[in-house]
Structure formats: structure tokens, C-alpha cells
A and B are shown apart, each in its own frame.
Chain A
Amino acid sequence: MRRRRFLTRTGAGVAGLTALAGCTDLGGSSEPSGTLTVATYSSFTGEETAGNWLKSAFEEEHSDVTVEFETPENGLNQFIQRKSEGVPIDADLYVGLNTGELVRADEQLDSDLFAATTDQVDGADGVKDGLQFDPDGRVIPYDTGYISLVYDEDEVDAPTTFDSLLEPAYEDALIAQNAQQSDPGRAFLLWTIYNEGADGYLDYWQGLLDNGVQILSDWEPAYQAYTDGEAPMVVSYSTDQVYYHGEGVDMSRHQVGFPNDQGYANPEGMAQFADSDNAELAREFMSFVLSEAAQAEIAVRNVQFPSVEGVEPGGDFGEYALEPPEPVTFTYEELSGNVSGWIDEWARQIASN
């Protein structure tokens, strides 16, 4: 049933694409074949992950297609460097880049790393407006996380505003992450800049430092320190309760706080490499990722919110993942030319303290 519905939609999409691209040998009935190489981060693949579900489901739809994963340790940088040094890129698309990384790629490269495909991918118009982050239509968001605070309600009150974090009630209360190396750490820093402004965020952080904020390397050590009771509050994701709920679980330590009623959206996107010789298949895969079934599966397996409007993942995720009253995020234009400077100034101030 699911298969037929999907094929119908794809058929319509391919027909539209034919008109657009002016190709003649693309019929609605032609089955794609070959090997699709998907570059992504390592935790997207492996047992029970969103990546592996996508691989099997996509291969089931297209019996002549094999999906392979490539997971370089330095992520997107590997491909930016390949492109800038003229080394061939053998992957067809990249899954899992965010706004900051796209800005970096564009700042580093003179030629395009990715192809503009948004118009040619079926379902791309269903992505929520607030999550779109590429003005040039190359990157299509497929899910998003919301950075928030996770706190222990037995020790601190709900952090209602950013200013309240400077109060004595929150002395030595917060663990954050290094924005130079950690995604949630970077998102939290950008969130403070969103609220305090590029002129005011360093003063704000001086206030946080004076109040005893700790900045650890990455999410894992930070959350581990929170779990060990080193501080009653940590920068994390609004999906925390998906992991912690039900009988016998002490929910008091898993409260999600949205200061200023906000959460900072960190959408993850996918894009086809400009040099891919398998562009059509790559677009086919991307439109599969945006299908309702895939969106719901990715949400549950990746513990991130779907990017497509109207998709409701069921189960524990549907029940326990919290969305902020007001999702906020910086656009590509706002980050471009600014983000490295903001982070460097911030890191220098912390390290000089």
C-alpha cells in the first residue's frame, strides 16, 4: 500500500522534472539503478539507525539500487578540502549539514560544492518555512533539533529568561559546550547572540562566567557531568524526555527549559554534490527522505523533529518530544561573514578569564 502511494507520487515528480530538465529519455516507468554513495556522520549509520532504515527502505523500492555510506571522521570538511584541492569526490550526496557548515563551505570555496536541486526534488516544497536555511536552494532540511536547557527541578526553578541565568539562584548551575567544536554548544552561543545582540553577547557571557558557567568540550562529557550531579542544568536538546519517561523514572532531573519561551532550531539538511555523476538517483533519494513514512522514521530513530509540515511521528517521540513555543534560528545571510568571528571572540574571552 505504502509502496504504491509512494510510486504514484514519485511518478508525478519525475514527470514534472522531465518537463523542467527538458530530458526526453525519462519516463515515469524507468527504474533507477546503480550505486548511490551517501556521505554522512557516523552515528547516522549502524544498527537500528535512521540511515540504515533509509538504505533498506530505498533499496526495497528500487531493486537495482544499492545505497552505500561514507562516514569521514571530519565530516563535511573532508569534502570542502577535497573540492578546494581538486581531489575527486566520489560521494553523490551529503546528509547532515547545518547552516554554519554551509556558510563555511561557501566561504572556503570559489566553485559550488553542491548543486541547486530544491526545485527538482519532489516534496521539497513541503519543508517548513522556518527551517529553510539555504537561499540558493541547494540544501534541503530533513529534520531539526531544538537546543534547550535540561534541568533538575528539585535544585533550580525553570529558567524562564536568559537574564535570569545571571541571578544568584543559578550560581554554578549551568554546563554548556565549547562552541568551537560542539554543535549544541555552537547553537547555544548563537541563541545568546540572537537575544543579546552581536554587541551585547560578550558582556552577557561575562555575566554567565561570573555566575560560574562551565564550558566543556562536547555534548557527551557535558551531559555525563550533568548526570553525575556536577551541576543542576545543562545545554541539551528538547527531546530529553523521549529517553526518560515512564514508571520508575525520576522525571525531576529531566525537565526541559525554554528561556524567553524560545528554543534554538538547528536544522540538518542534505544536498547533492555538484560533481555527482548520479544526480538523478541522488534527487530520488532526497525526495524519498522527505516522504511521510521516512520523515516519521527519521524522527523516531534520530530523535529529531521532522522538517516536513504535517508529519506526526507517533509513539514515545510524539508524546515526549517537546517543541519550544517560539523556535528561533539565524539565517544563512545573518551567519555569513559573522559566525567565525563571533565564535572566536567568545572563545578568546572565555580562555582569557
Chain B
Amino acid sequence: MATRVDRFAIPAGIAATLATLAIVFYLPVGSVLVSAINVGGQLTVDPLLTVLRDPFYTGVAHSLFVDPLGVPRGISQWIAAGTPSLRLGLFGFTAYQALLSTVASVVVGLPGAYLLARFEFPGRRLLRSVTILPFVMPSIMVAVGFLAMFGRQGLFNDLLGIVGLGPVELTFTLELVVLAHAFYNAPLVTRLVTAAWESVGARRVETARTLGASPLRAFRDVIVPQLLPATLTAAVLTFVFTFMSFPIVLALGGLQLATVEVWLFARVRDLALTEAATLGAIETALSLGLIYVYLRFEALQVRSSGDSRGLDREPLFAGLRSLADPRRLALLCYGVVVLVLFVGPLASLVIESVTTPAGRLTGDYYAFLLSMQSGSGVGTVRPLAAVSNSVLFALGALALALPMGIVVSVVATRESRGSRLAEALLTAPLAVSGIVLGLGMLRTLVFGTELFGHRLTITGPVAIVAAHAVAGYPFVSRNVTPALSAIDDRLVDAARSLGASRQRALRDVELPLITPALVAGAAFAFAISIGEFDSTVLLAEGVDSATMPVALERYTGNRSLGPNLGPATAMGTVLLAVTTVSFLVIDRVGGRWEG
């Protein structure tokens, strides 16, 4: 009996995962993207060509689609003219700012991984837990925090003034947008690389050192190859996310720095759906293509450490000696950067929640939350209900995303034909614009389909949880797949030759070995759910399913305390507090498993 359950568990898991994906992801997205090539029942590439041939969208690359044969001549003329700067077009500029943001995120994120993976200090676990916080912050709150921190009259300029520098004008610049993207994505780099670093086997480093390798050489030859996949994963994801970045760009940078997503949103708002679908299809193709190329690369990487003992952490504070250690001094400088870039905006947000526009201390915004809580008017979103909805949905999403992620990872680590392609397609929720998904969900799930004279719609809490799980599970599988493929195949083979089924081997041998990766993935899935706005608000039936970001958005539009974002910042602070506590719990519970 047990073996029969065992035999069907993984295929059943795959089927359930695919069914969930089909309903809340592929069907909605497909319904939108198909209109890029299907106009009035006719298959056509015209909308696609119209976009690709428009220099506004593709800049100088539009010649490739207008006059491909003239490209070599164009290039030689360009060189002859002394290589003047080229017009990037909307796609080109979007890719350019995404590239800058990726570099910034990796540069800011890697030292964090070094600190968390290699040093021991009081509060290390706490710090690791809260690195996820930027992930859940609604962009309007990040904009408030960034303006208060980096604005003309912000805290950063005040600090620069104290040391006799500045002021700097960062508002409405690409630099500030890139910094905000690093704020969101550097923690992703830090978390993924920390997890990889923690799984580097100590014995291999020791072996290298015994064989005469210098510490630097051992780092380069043993550690770097093991960190590279995680770093590249984080970089690829950051590029994809910042390529599709939308509200933060226009809130901090302005329309001059518009990305493709801004246009996509404008087209959807104008109900110019063919052009919207075309932009979405090109975006998706680029993102998925990048993810596929990356997965091919990852599959070629060295794997299997087979070593369960990790590197020992050094104490960060080693008395006066630390002051003479260049590594510790560098980490001290890094600490200052972290304070300015991460703590600064978040603390500014908290300060804004107790400050009037005129700069006086106030408790009004929290009193507003209390009045909402006791309010009786229809359409009132109550803060406590939003908190409990958020936590419940996140737990539900977690319960669904973990098995989905594990199933996908098991598929991905199989060495069969097309498994990279399958994995890329299963990672697609990361590569599709939230605007396209939202439009698709509206047309399929919310509008429903007529079945036997009855209209079947898929909305409400269960649909919300499923949508959150689909948005979150790729983070689980992205964490679990590398860990799973690093397990020595001989361990699984041994278990199976002793009579264990594939499921049993997964459960008793592999899962315990990948617990750190599972916990890391769980944290992301939870964070994605807490921060999710677009599909939540779409699938909610009335205000009863409102979550914290939805409440925050409603309070943003509330003018009862005047035209300011005070009430929203108070809710933003509640969101920060609830998320912090949740992650402390997740890491503690996860830590118990890690033993």
C-alpha cells in the first residue's frame, strides 16, 4: 500500500502542479499573448513587426526589421562617422537600466553574502532574516522612503553636510532608480549566495590548502565555482525583474526614464490590447530566452560536493586586531553603505509615519488606523483583518508553493531531453509581466466561462492563495534545484539499491540534505505572497479579502487627514513589523530542522 502511494506521489504532484499552473497562470497569460498574433481570428505577425520596426521601441535596432540587408552598410557608415551614440529605443533603454541595476545589485549584494556566510556575530541570524524585508515593500512606500532619505532635503544630504560634503541632487535621476532597484534586488543576491556559500564543503577547501594552495587560490578554485551559479541565478533574476520594473521608475525617475512596462500599462489602460499583448509577448520572449540560456549554463556547472560539513565562521569582532584587518575594515565600510541604502529608506518611512508634512511629531496616522479598525462604513478596509488575511494567505501559499517547487526541482534535475526547456517554461511566472497576468486573469478567471448555462468564475481566497503560490514557487525551485543536483547521486543510488522507492529516497535522504535551500525558498515564497498586490486585488471579492498591501493602497487614496501619505506610511510600518516577526519565526522554525 505504502509503495503504491509512493509510486504515484511524484506523478500526482506533477499533475497537480501543472493543473494549478494551467488555471491560474498559463490560461490567463496565454489568453492575452495570443492576441499578439491573432487579430480577428487571423494569424498575423503584423503587430509584432509594427513594434519591432518602430524606432521609438527598438531604436537603432529597428533597421534589422526594416532593412536587414542594409545593416552592414549602416554599421560601416556609423564607424566612419566616429561611432556617435546610438538611439537605444524603449527596449534598449529598458535593458540598459536593467543591466546597470543588475550590476549594482550584485556589487551591493555579494559582500553581504560574504559577511553572513563567513562571519559570526551577535544578531547574524536576525540580520539574515530581515534581508527579505525590501521584497515585500510596495513601491509607493519605497518611493516615500527614498525621497525622505535621498531627496534634496533628505537625511542623506543632511549627513553629507555634517562631514562637509554635498549636497547631491539624486531625485529624478537614473542613479536613484538604479539605487532603488538595488534596494529591492541586492537582498536577493545576498540570500541566494549566502545559501550557496554555506553549502561549500569545508573538506574540499582544506584539501586544497593541504596541497599547497594559498587562501586566495583556494578561494578562486574551490569556492568561486560553487558561488557562481547562485550569483548568476540572482543576476539573471534581477535583470528580469528590473527589466519589467514599473511603478518605482516613474515615482522616482519620471517619464523620461520610462521602461517598456510603463508603455504596456498605458496600452492596457487605453484598451489597445493588441499592442499591449505584443509588448508583453516580446518582453516574455526576452525574459524566458534569458532564463533558458542561463539554465543551460547552470546544467554544465560542476556539481556534487557530497560534503555535509560547511565552512566554520570566523568571529567578526576580534578585539583591537580587527581594526588592522583590511577585510574587517572593508566590511565596516560596507556596513555604512547598508545603513544608508537599506536602513535609511526604511527608517525614513517609519519616521514619516509619525511626522506631519510641517515636520511635527504626530500620532494621527496610527489613530487613523484605529479609526479604520472600528469603522462601520461599507468598503472600509480594517487593518487587523488585512494583517490576518496577509498571514493566512501567505501560509496557504507557502503550503502550496513548497511541494510545487520540490516537484519542479525533481523534474529539473532529471537528465532527460528537453528538461531545461521544461524547467524554463515552469519558471515562466518569473518572466511574465504582472500587468499581462492581471489582464489575463481578469478576462479568464474573473469574467469566467459559460458552462451549461451557468457562469463559472474563479475568484476569492482560494484563487488568491493559488495565484500567490504560482508567483512564489519558482523561488523555491530556484533554491532547491542547485541544492538537489549537488547531492551525490551515490547516496540516492545506495538508498534505492537497499529497496527504497524514489519517493522514499527523496523524503529520507535528499530532503534533509536540502533543508537550508528549502527554508530559503520558503522565505521567498512567503515574502512574495505578503507583498503581492495585482492579482490579490483582482481576485478579491470585496474588501473582506484585503491584504496589507491592498489596505495600504486604499489608505493612499484616503484624504481624511489631508493630501499626504501619512496613513499609508503608518500601514507600511505595520507591514514592516508583521513581516519582520514572520521571518524571525520562519528562520527559527527552519533553523530547528536544520538542527
Contacts and interface: CB of A to CB of B under 8 A. Distances in A.
* A and B part of one assembly: yes
Interface of A: 42-43, 45-49, 51-52, 55, 68-69, 71, 73-74, 77-78, 80-82, 85, 87-88, 104, 108, 178, 180-181, 209, 214-218, 220-221, 223-225, 227-230, 236, 240, 243-244, 249-250, 303, 340, 347-348, 350-353
Contacts of A51: 379
Nearest to B59: A352
A87 B447 contact: yes
Given A69-B378, A81-B442, A224-B564, A47 B371 contact: yes
B557 interface: yes
A100 to B, nearest CB: 10
Interface stretch (B149-157, B281-289, B501-509): B149-157
A73 B537 contact: yes
Interface string B255-272: 110100011011001111
Contacts of B377: 45-49, 52
A218 B144 CA distance: 13
Contact of A214 (B172, B272, B371, B560): B172
Given A51-B379, A55-B378, A228-B154, A350 B171 contact: no
Contact of A104 (B270, B358, B443, B563): B270
B562 A243 contact: yes
Contacts of A68: 378
Nearest to B57: A348
Interface in B371-399: 371-372, 375-381
B262 A180 contact: yes
Interface stretch (B19-27, B203-211, B246-254, B584-592): B246-254
A45 B562 CA distance: 17
A69 B271 contact: no
Given A181-B266, A352-B56, A47 B372 contact: yes
A215 B562 contact: no
A88 B144 CA distance: 40
Interface in B424-474: 442-443, 447-448, 455
B90 interface: yes
B250 A216 contact: yes
Nearest to B172: A214
Given A217-B251, A225-B147, A227-B564, A243 B557 contact: no
Nearest to B249: A217
A88 B453 CA distance: 13
A230 B557 contact: no
A229 B250 contact: no
B5 to A, nearest CB: 42
B255 A243 contact: no
B140 interface: yes
Contacts of A221: 140, 143, 250-252
B560 A217 contact: no
B565 interface: yes
B357 interface: yes
Contacts of A87: 447-448, 455
A185 to B, nearest CB: 9
A85 B153 contact: no
Contacts of B447: 81-82, 85, 87
B554 A43 contact: yes
B559 A243 contact: yes
A85 B564 CA distance: 39
Contacts of B148: 228
B304 interface: no
A223 B562 CA distance: 11
Contacts of B270: 104, 180, 340
Contacts, number: 150
Contacts of B143: 221, 224
Contacts of A220: 140, 556-557, 565
B140 A104 contact: no
B562 A350 contact: no
B378 A45 contact: yes
A230 B358 contact: no
Nearest to A71: B379
25 contacts: A42-B554, A43-B557, A43-B558, A46-B375, A47-B372, A49-B379, A52-B377, A52-B378, A52-B379, A68-B378, A77-B271, A80-B271, A81-B271, A81-B442, A214-B172, A215-B254, A216-B250, A216-B255, A221-B251, A223-B564, A224-B565, A230-B147, A347-B255, A350-B255, A351-B90
Contacts of A228: 147-148, 151-154
Nearest to B536: A73
Nearest to B537: A73
Given A229-B153, A249-B358, A42 B379 contact: yes
Interface in B524-572: 537-538, 554, 556-560, 562-565
B118 to A, nearest CB: 39
Q: Chain B: interface residue count, which band?
A: 35 or more
Contacts of A88: 455
Nearest to B55: A352
Contacts of A180: 262, 265-266, 269-270
Contacts of A85: 443, 447
Contacts of B565: 220, 224
B538 A47 contact: no
Contact of A353 (B147, B256, B271, B443): B256
A46 B250 contact: no
Interface string B6-30: 0000000000000000000000000
B256 A215 contact: yes
A217 B270 CA distance: 16
Contact of B247 (A73, A217, A236, A249): A217
Contact of B379 (A45, A216, A236, A243): A45
Contacts of B147: 224-225, 228, 230
| In the A-B complex, the 10 residue pairs with the closest CB atoms | A45-B379, A217-B250, A43-B557, A180-B266, A215-B255, A47-B375, A243-B562, A52-B377, A221-B251, A351-B258
Of the candidates A51, A224, A228, the one having the most CB atoms from chain B within 10 angstroms of its own CB is: A224
Given A217-B247, A249-B358, A347 B266 contact: yes
Contacts of B380: 46-47
A48 B379 CA distance: 11
B392 to A, nearest CB: 21
Contacts of A244: 562
Contact of B557 (A42, A55, A181, A351): A42
A230 B251 contact: no
Of the candidates B254, B538, B562, the one having the most CB atoms from chain A within 10 angstroms of its own CB is: B254
B355 to A, nearest CB: 11
Given A85-B443, A221-B140, A224-B565, A229 B151 contact: yes
B161 to A, nearest CB: 15
Nearest to B560: A48
B317 to A, nearest CB: 38
Nearest to A51: B379
A80 B270 CA distance: 11
A85 B443 CA distance: 9
A43 B272 CA distance: 26
Contacts of B554: 42-43, 46
Contacts of B90: 351
A243 B560 CA distance: 9
A232 B376 CA distance: 39
Contact of A69 (B256, B379, B563): B379
Nearest to B251: A221
Nearest to B257: A351
Interface in B150-180: 151-154, 171-172
A204 to B, nearest CB: 16
Contacts of B372: 47
A223 B556 CA distance: 12
Nearest to A248: B358
A303 B559 CA distance: 9
Contacts of B376: 47
A240 B357 CA distance: 14
Nearest to B255: A215
A103 B377 CA distance: 33
A108 B270 CA distance: 9
